Structure 1
Amino acid sequence: MSPLTSSRGPLRLVALLTALVLLAGCTGGPPSDIGAPARPTATSAPIDDGVPDAPETLTEPPSSIGAVDVATYFMEMYPHVLATGDVDEWQRLSAVDCVFCHAVVADLDALADQGHHREGGAVTVGYSVVSAGAEAGSYSVGLSMNEAPARVVDSHGEAIGDWTEPQSYVASVLLVHDGASWAIQAVEPAPADG
């Protein structure tokens, strides 16, 4: 199964921690960088061929179309982040109080701390629904997503955990444009059948 919902073997703790963080909501700040383990680099982990292209609307004034594009882009970055350790764009788009955003980085750190990385799991977005929030520039985007099969690999290239069936999710993505840039405030994924 996907670490977004549950896991087996060495990822069980990571999945449990992620679930607890998601249940807590987006009220806390990001985890401290003090003592953070080294993340895999492009040379220590396979390069994910599914790096999404940034949408043109990322640099345009806020709009419903832009909100959908940015939410889609952010979620499509998920497998790339876990495969390569490249969190620059992910963190640039993550609001300080986005629990899910920072939990993904914490999951990555936990994998890297064990010498593991993830392969596969490309995310494709199906339909989307968007509504403007009460504050100017804020939006709520509902996405349907499919995650391809993936696996977790140790430092020797051996698979230590995998899920062979595609996973389907729905996600609520809250984001805001402050007049200069977009920020993801919260992501709440759930199994599509649950």
Structure 2
Amino acid sequence: MRMQGRTTRAAVVTGMVVLVAGGCTGSPEPGPATSATTDTTFSPTATPSSSPTLDAMMPPERPAEMSDRSATGASAAASYFFALYPYVFASGDLTEWSALSSETCEYCQNVRRSVEDQTARGVVGEGAEITIESAEGIEVAPGETYAADLVVVQAPSFEVTKDGERVPDGDGGRFQIHVALGWESGWVVRAIDAARA
């Protein structure tokens, strides 16, 4: 989501432009028999604390609702996935991010590559805290295919060099995000479309 930033995020930005312009699932459009139901019962809100650097080094708590194969579970999974965003850049720990990411999700893989590049250069991400204003889950194909629509606010982000220099990396902002998810013995993020709100 860092829509502007240094070259370390160029792949993420390029991926976001492609996603917004043309979609990213690559899957055929659902036929007329596909039904969709919406459930808005999961309403997460994350408020950054006064010490975001310390908080970002701690992984976010996985919501209990993620165990549900439902629209509510999809909403919880998408919200959790974006709560991981500042954590992976601050810690370099991609374990949960990778476990939830489909290999075909361009955005997911671009973030992974950006974190790996940042780690290789010896810099640490700071900021980019996510506040989720709303999250709505959608059941597309019961038991298999889901979606979630989120509105999030992202704080500005920085890279902290080995010497302690804090370099601006993104201005943050408010975003509308559509997440395509599947249930494959657990949640998998298949694609992400995002645009400034």
TM-score, structure 2 normalization: 0.75
**Offset of residue 135 of structure 1:** 6.1
SS of match in other structure, 2:178 = strand
Q: Percent identity?
A: 24
SS of match in other structure, 1:187 = strand
SS of match in other structure, 1:54 = coil
Whole-angstrom CA distance in 2 between matches of 1:146 and 1:21 = 19
Tell me the amino acid that sits aligned with residue 104 of structure 1: V
Q: Is the 8 Å Cα contact of residues 73 and 137 (structure 2) preserved in structure 1?
A: no
- Pick 1 or 2: higher relative contact order, CA cutoff 8 A, min separation 6: 2
Tell me the amino acid that sits aligned with residue 144 of structure 1: V
Q: Deviations over 1:114-171 (max 9, x none)?
A: 22111122101111222222464211111000112331111111112245x6511111
Whole-angstrom CA distance in 2 between matches of 1:71 and 1:173 = 7
Are the structure 2 counterparts of residues 74 and 147 from structure 1 closer, same or farther at C-alpha, using a change threshold of 3 Å? Answer: same
Q: Is the 8 Å Cα contact of residues 5 and 190 (structure 1) preserved in structure 2?
A: no
- Which residue of 2 is the match for residue 32 of structure 1? none
Please, which of 166, 176, 184 is the counterpart of residue 189 of structure 2? 184
**Offset of residue 26 of structure 1:** 4.7
Tell me the amino acid that sits aligned with residue 4 of structure 1: R
- Which residue of 1 is the match for residue 111 of structure 2? 104
**Offset of residue 49 of structure 1:** 4.9
Q: Does 1:95 align with 2:102?
A: yes
What is the aligned residue count? 166
Q: Deviations over 1:164-185 (max 9, x none)?
A: x65111111111112x211011
Q: Does 1:171 align with 2:171?
A: no
Q: Deviations over 1:66-107 (max 9, x none)?
A: 110110000011000000001101101111211111110111
Q: Is the 8 Å Cα contact of residues 26 and 99 (structure 1) preserved in structure 2?
A: no
- Which residue of 1 is the match for residue 10 of structure 2? 16
SS of match in other structure, 1:133 = strand
Q: Is the 8 Å Cα contact of residues 121 and 147 (structure 1) preserved in structure 2?
A: yes
The aligned runs of 1:1-194 (5 Å cut-off) are 4-7=2-5, 11=6, 13-22=7-16, 23=18, 25-26=24-25, 48-49=56-57, 51-58=59-66, 60-134=67-141, 136-163=143-170, 167-178=173-184, 180-192=185-197
Q: Is the 8 Å Cα contact of residues 2 and 172 (structure 2) preserved in structure 1?
A: no
Please, which runs of 5 or more residues in structure 2 have no aligned partner? 27-52
Q: Is the 8 Å Cα contact of residues 12 and 114 (structure 2) preserved in structure 1?
A: yes
Whole-angstrom CA distance in 1 between matches of 2:140 and 2:91 = 34
Q: Is the 8 Å Cα contact of residues 74 and 138 (structure 2) preserved in structure 1?
A: no
